[in-house]
């Protein structure tokens, strides 16, 4: 390592270590720059604490629109926003690119990729990753979509396979390249299935006149009996109708057995030849080392009390997808959605200040603002409390909510322009293959994309 580079890294570590020591205020270390971590940091602005955020990327990802990055409808930069820029005016905020390796609860420090950091309060907002349920073959060959690098990998794979399909001489040879199996019929699976179907129905023959729409097969599989099982029966039925009309074949009550990169097998004997399996069948919390194993709940989530504080600790909090607040009302914890993460972050930010000031804390109460999912142009479903509706109006609400939730005025403007162009032309977006995706371990490929983009 060059001497200058070593000194620079060393200085960054020293700055992080000395933040608390130089200040008369306690140091709050937030691990994770997702929805939950952002909200904690916002709530602590102008408060008597110092804030240090750690994340392996220097940007926040708006995950609900990852599927549009995967299809080339949006560029990755339009759903990402600089964490430093977002908190540019917050004087008590600092940021470091780092990964959490271990929590040393006995001496209030954490081991990270940039060294050891002491904390007064620690907020674990590490989120979740794709759950392959221990199936190593599926993990090796199927495509996840939980991050921008993974969405870009998926984009490159999809369009590489369209290019490969053009070169094949028979329909049988083309079939595996043009068959898509999406496993997991939650919002991600439903929205991505609808997007692929619309690409096939309205765009593909413009880009690939050698191919025909009926060459492309799209399957949406789930082990449960209906799509969008966490939403209402009305939303589920409407979504199934929309998907069927778009030409998506639903495989419900279907559990995946194996996938070897060429054929996916389901329990019961059904098999499909495909080189495109996209996995969104579940998530698992990213729990750092140092948390007691008896505190890990189902889904690899950390058990917390009613103020999101890790059970057994006075100054460690867990929020968002990695947290499990088990109560009579929520025996399985809260759902892993953005609103839960945001509200937990807000609650933890307030309670840290209450604790610093010696004031009573406020228990967390989740306010369910409803659920939305889109299946394509003019097609969406909305469950807003007791009000449930589908169609064009639900689609407009989906657009407004997602635009409003994006960070940065520039991002909002770019996404709106892209959506307008796509709506008017059916041919917007960019379907470039910037780097070739090599079939293999998808996690390694995700790391390569991060380096190459």
Encoding tokens for residue 157?
């794979």
C-alpha dist (Å) from residue 45 to 34, 40, 346: 17, 9, 12
Angle, nearest 10°, between helix axes 392-405 and 409-425? 150
Q: CA 292 to CA 93: how far, in whole Å?
A: 30
- Give the containing element (helix H, strand E) for 381: strand 379-384
Q: CA 453 to CA 435: how far, in whole Å?
A: 9
Encoding tokens for residue 86?
């977002």
Q: CA 427 to CA 345: how far, in whole Å?
A: 39
From the list 39, 50, 139, 191, the catalytic residue is 191
For residue 425, the Cα-to-chain-centroid distance in whole angstroms is 29
How wide is the angle at C-alpha 244 spanned by C-alphas 242 and 250, nearest 5°? 120
Is 164 among the residues known to form the active site?
Answer: no
Q: CA 46 to CA 86: how far, in whole Å?
A: 15
Q: CA 135 to CA 267: how far, in whole Å?
A: 14
Residues noted as catalytic: 191
């Amino acid at each position: 390592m060059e001497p200058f580079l070593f000194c620079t890294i060393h200085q960054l570590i020293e700055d992080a270590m000395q933040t608390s020591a130089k200040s008369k205020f306690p140091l709050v270390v937030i691990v994770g720059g997702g929805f939950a971590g952002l909200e904690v940091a916002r709530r602590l602005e102008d408060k008597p604490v110092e804030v240090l955020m750690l994340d392996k990327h220097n940007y926040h990802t708006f995950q609900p629109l990852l599927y549009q990055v995967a299809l080339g409808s949006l560029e990755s930069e339009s759903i990402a926003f600089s964490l430093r820029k977002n908190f540019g005016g917050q004087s008590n905020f600092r940021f470091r690119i780092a990964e959490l390796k271990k929590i040393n609860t006995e001496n209030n420090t954490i081991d990270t990729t940039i060294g050891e950091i002491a904390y007064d309060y620690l907020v674990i907002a590490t989120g979740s990753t794709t759950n392959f349920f221990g199936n190593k073959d599926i993990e090796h060959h199927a495509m996840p979509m939980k991050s921008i690098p993974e969405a870009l990998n998926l984009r490159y794979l999809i369009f590489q396979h369209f290019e490969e399909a053009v070169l094949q001489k028979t329909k049988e040879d083309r079939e595996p390249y043009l068959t898509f199996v999406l496993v997991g019929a939650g919002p991600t699976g439903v929205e991505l299935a609808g997007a692929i179907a619309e690409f096939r129905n309205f765009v593909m023959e413009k880009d690939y006149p050698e191919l025909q729409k009926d060459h492309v097969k799209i399957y949406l599989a789930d082990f449960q009996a209906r799509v969008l099982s966490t939403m209402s029966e009305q939303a589920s039925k409407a979504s199934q109708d929309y998907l069927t009309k778009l030409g998506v074949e639903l495989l419900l009550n279907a559990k995946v057995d194996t996938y070897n990169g060429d054929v996916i097998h389901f329990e019961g004997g059904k098999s499909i030849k495909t080189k495109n399996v996209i996995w969104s069948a579940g998530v698992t919390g990213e729990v750092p080392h140092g948390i007691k194993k008896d505190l890990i709940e189902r889904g690899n989530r950390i058990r917390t009390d009613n103020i999101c504080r890790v059970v057994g600790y006075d100054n460690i909090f867990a929020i968002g997808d990695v947290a499990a607040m088990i109560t009579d009302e929520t025996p399985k914890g809260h759902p892993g959605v953005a609103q839960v993460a945001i509200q937990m972050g807000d609650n933890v930010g307030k309670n840290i200040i209450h604790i610093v000031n010696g004031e009573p804390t406020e228990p967390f109460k989740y306010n369910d603002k409803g659920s939305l999912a889109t299946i394509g142009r003019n097609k969406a479903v909305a469950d807003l409390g007791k009000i449930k509706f589908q169609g064009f109006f639900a689609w407009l609400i989906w657009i407004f909510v997602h635009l409003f939730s994006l960070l940065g005025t520039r991002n909002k403007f770019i996404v709106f322009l892209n959506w307008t162009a796509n709506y008017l032309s059916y041919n917007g977006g960019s379907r470039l293959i910037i780097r070739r995706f090599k079939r293999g371990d998808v996690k390694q490929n995700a790391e390569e994309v991060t380096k190459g983009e």
